[in-house]
């Protein structure tokens, strides 16, 4: 079985918007579709979870490390002067991937398992995998890419 036809860009975007409105920003409207032409993610940080059901897939979030730093600060309620530790950065960005992945998993027609989130400055290996979908979003004007892979 494949996830083709189960997830689509509209659902992916809606889930991400809900996660950010509830958990990160406390209000809707700060995560939007990216309309500003091609986006460049410099110094990327990646967070992902894998879904294991009859379909095996991956949900991957990628953004600039500086954006992930601000994301962690927003999640943790830290002010601009506070330094985000590497552990908090990894944990916070991983938790966003976990919640997005968990909500996508709920769309599967059967129960599945979600792996613990992983966070790295290197993208995960996608050897033998193919990308099912990708949405390019803007969080506070900065790019956030969410992709779904068939493993």
Q: Which residues would be at the binding site for another protein (CB under 8 A)?
A: 18-19, 21-23, 26, 72, 75-77, 87-88, 91-92, 94-95, 98-99, 101-103, 105-106, 111, 114, 116
CB 11, min distance to another protein, A: 13
Three-state DSSP class for 144? strand
Q: Kindly report the number of other CB atoms within 10 A of residue 133's CB atom.
A: 17
Of the candidates 63, 66, 73, the residue with the CA atom closest to the CA atom of residue 24? 73
CB of 38 or CB of 77, closer to another protein: 77
CB of 39 or CB of 95, closer to another protein: 95
CB 126, min distance to another protein, A: 23
CB of 15 or CB of 136, closer to another protein: 15
CB 23, min distance to another protein, A: 4
Strands (E) located in the chain: 31-33, 44-52, 56-64, 113-114, 118-120, 130-139, 142-150
């Amino acid at each position: 079985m494949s996830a083709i036809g189960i997830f689509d860009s509209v659902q992916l975007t809606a889930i991400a918007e809900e996660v950010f409105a509830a958990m990160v920003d406390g209000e809707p409207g700060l995560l939007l579709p990216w309309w500003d032409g091609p986006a460049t993610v410099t110094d990327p940080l990646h967070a992902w979870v894998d879904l294991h059901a009859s379909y095996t897939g991956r949900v991957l979030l990628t953004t600039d490390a500086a954006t992930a730093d601000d994301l962690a600060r927003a999640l943790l309620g830290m002010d601009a002067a506070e330094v985000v530790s590497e552990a908090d950065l990894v944990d916070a960005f991983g938790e966003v991937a976990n919640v997005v992945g968990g909500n996508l998993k709920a769309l599967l027609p059967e129960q599945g398992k979600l792996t613990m989130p992983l966070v790295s400055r290197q993208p995960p290996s996608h050897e033998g995998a193919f990308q099912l979908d990708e949405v390019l979003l803007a969080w506070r004007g900065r790019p956030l890419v969410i992709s779904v892979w068939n493993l």
